[in-house]
A and B are shown apart, each in its own frame.
Chain A
Amino acid sequence: MRKWGLFLPEPSSLFDKLWNSHVVAALPGGGALVAIDRVFLHERTGASALNSLAEARRPVADPARVFAVTDHIVDTRPGRTDKTLMPGGQAFITETRAAAKAAGITLFDVNDPDQGIVHVISPELGIILPGCTLVAPDSHSCTQGAFGALAWGIGSSEAEHAMATGTLRLNKPKAMRVCFSGALPKGVTPKDMIMTLIAQYGAAGGKGHAVEFAGQAVSALDMEGRMTLCNMATEFSAMSGFIAPDAKTFEYLKGRRYAPKGTDWNRAVECWTQLASDTGAVFDTEIEIDARAITPMVSWGTSPENSVGISGTVPDDASDRALEYMALDKGQALAGTSIDAAFIGSCTNSRLPDLRRASALLKGRKIAGHVKAICVPGSSRVKREAEAEGIDAIFRDAGFEWRESGCSMCFYAGGESFDAGSRVISTTNRNFESRQGPGVKTHIASPETVVASALAGAIADVRELL
């Protein structure tokens, strides 16, 4: 369709199409003023950005395209209110509520049926769309690139800029394509795909690049799996990650609240169908990974690049600092390492298919007695739909806590956390020091690996359960 072709010589990459179709003007320094279609705030930093704009007497240019949600520090225990366990946390919620109202933006508040983690609800509501630019003051905004959009995390100053002007001032990153060829083996998930990429190419491997994920193993994923894959593009230091939209993308979005309707829908799909890298498109960097060789992954250190296959050992070149923190030794096998807790949730792995796959493994089984296990659905909608399928009962019967939706213990904000120094296997995206609580040793892995480990009471290979 003309929208994309107008600006571009053939052949072009998906990234070129996304980028060039949003350039408002070239800037003197070589960068560009780039149109931003959607801004999404959360209560951790939303009030700060909105209040700062108001103090500078800068109105939000188009409040209908700015959204906010309470997800980061909202309590996830049943019967929640504005009160949170984080000291002073309530003020973040009430001040974001007041600031959102004053600015005229849409807020999905604590007990809104559409509340949930920003990168779970934005797709559920059709706020993210193919060919769209979306920014949020949250590094995992790249998750939403799964819809063929350019979505990325920004700081507070850029959030203010995007809201005040409908644009950002950017330098065009380089284009990378990561192709996962072949089909994933049984028990191996999109979480293992992205952890494999980061383990092989490093936590700075995507530096300066916008990354398209492609190939048979990517096309085969459902939308939720594609979101898991794109989620950790930021752990790869990429500006963003994205996947060309296809029939699955359109099917997912059709009828969602903010998705186009009627004739607009047909026009939109016609337009979105053009959003793929042309044959012969040139990339600054190309990586090919054989999906058939990927195994379930688990992290051993304090950066996502510190990850190995589940049957692997801590490498000999591991840093002493990371090993001291994680209380592991070089050459030690990961499988069989005793765990204290298990966590299923976060913007990486908290959607309905994640919970379905986890519950299928849990059904009729009990987790190890010494393991504290928590499941936090990614959104209030995911929670309702899971409960309608009886998934909550399976989790509870197996020994898991079943929570209200939110970011929860993916990170420690001073309130609720795992016990100091405890070892946790977690479906989250960051295994940084003290990320999940003081001294907490986090091992990141897929929901399947977390379930297998919770059952065994120690890091375990899910393939033995299949």
Chain B
Amino acid sequence: MAEPFTILTSLPMLLIRDNIDTDQIIPSREMKSTGKTGLADGLFAGWRYTQIGGRETDPSFVLNDPHYADSQIILGGANFGCGSSREHAVWALAEYGFRAVIAPSFAPIFAGNCARNGVLPAVIDADAIAIMEKTDSPVTIDLGAQTVSIDGGESWTFPIDKEAKAMLLEGLDAIDLSLKMANDIATWQEADRAQRPWIYLGANQ
């Protein structure tokens, strides 16, 4: 169960490139165990370190810029999180300390993975992101109000579906919620089995 997300103020780290894929967020070679932890070290490994598989940091990559050392928000480009469905990308971001990504658009699987791990995917248009980039000062995300605002400056709203919002605000577990509907599921399956028996595979296949 993820930590609830309500209001967050932080200096956003600037990583405004379109189509940042999950192979860049956590390269496959950095997924070294079958667990969900130990991934922060591999976050953006291909850009963050000077050599593939190495650990010498590349000072030219923004994650290594001391100015953004305490950032909990990433300011990203369009189609953020495209590519592989690996949830490890979100686990790595969360373990490193990021709680939100602000971008003009997100790849759908990535956005779904975010909401299940206490990381907010906030859709804000590119013009507003450009203003935040230029200002380069802390922003406050208020999930309840669905706003992102530059402290003492402009404010924008972002859309989020009600369920993702509720799960993030309350740190709810989706499986718990659905298991409470076990009766609905059983009733549906019984009716469906009569119509599509071939869906329900037996032991004789």
Contacts and interface: CB of A to CB of B under 8 A. Distances in A.
Interface in A356-375: none
Nearest to A38: B199
Nearest to A56: B175
Contacts of B35: 48
A437 to B, nearest CB: 9
Interface in B147-205: 161-163, 165-166, 174-175, 177-179, 181-182, 184-185, 188-189, 192, 195-203, 205
B163 A258 contact: no
B29 A155 contact: no
B87 A29 contact: no
A29 B163 contact: yes
Contact of A166 (B83, B116, B189, B202): B189
Given A64-B201, A237-B108, A165 B85 contact: no
A31 B163 contact: yes
B53 interface: yes
A427 interface: no
Contacts of B24: 432-433
B17 interface: yes
Contacts of B90: 155
Nearest to B180: A165
Contacts of A24: 181, 184-185, 188
A29 B107 CA distance: 21
B181 A33 contact: yes
A167 B88 CA distance: 22
Interface stretch (A8-16, A332-340, A406-414): A406-414
A149 B117 CA distance: 29
Contact of B196 (A62, A271, A321): A271
B112 A155 contact: yes
Given A29-B161, A30-B161, A137 B85 contact: yes
B84 interface: yes
Nearest to A61: B185
B55 interface: no
Given A139-B83, A237-B108, A434-B52, A48 B34 contact: yes
A171 B113 contact: no
B177 A51 contact: no
Nearest to A2: B195
Contacts of B30: 414
Contacts of B189: 35, 166
Interface string A128-140: 0101100001110
Contact of A27 (B32, B87, B105, B163): B163
Interface in A138-196: 138-139, 153-158, 160-161, 164-167, 169, 171, 173
B139 to A, nearest CB: 24
A303 B109 contact: no
Interface in A1-47: 2-3, 24-25, 27-31, 33, 35, 37, 44-45, 47
Given A167-B178, A169-B163, A204-B105, A45 B86 contact: yes
A31 to B, nearest CB: 5
B21 interface: yes
14 contacts: A62-B200, A64-B200, A64-B203, A138-B85, A153-B109, A161-B175, A164-B175, A165-B181, A203-B19, A207-B79, A265-B198, A303-B19, A303-B82, A420-B52
Closest 4 CB pairs of A and B: A414-B29, A29-B162, A260-B198, A155-B87
Given A91-B33, A95-B34, A237-B105, 5 more contacts: A48-B34, A208-B108, A303-B18, A303-B19, A434-B27
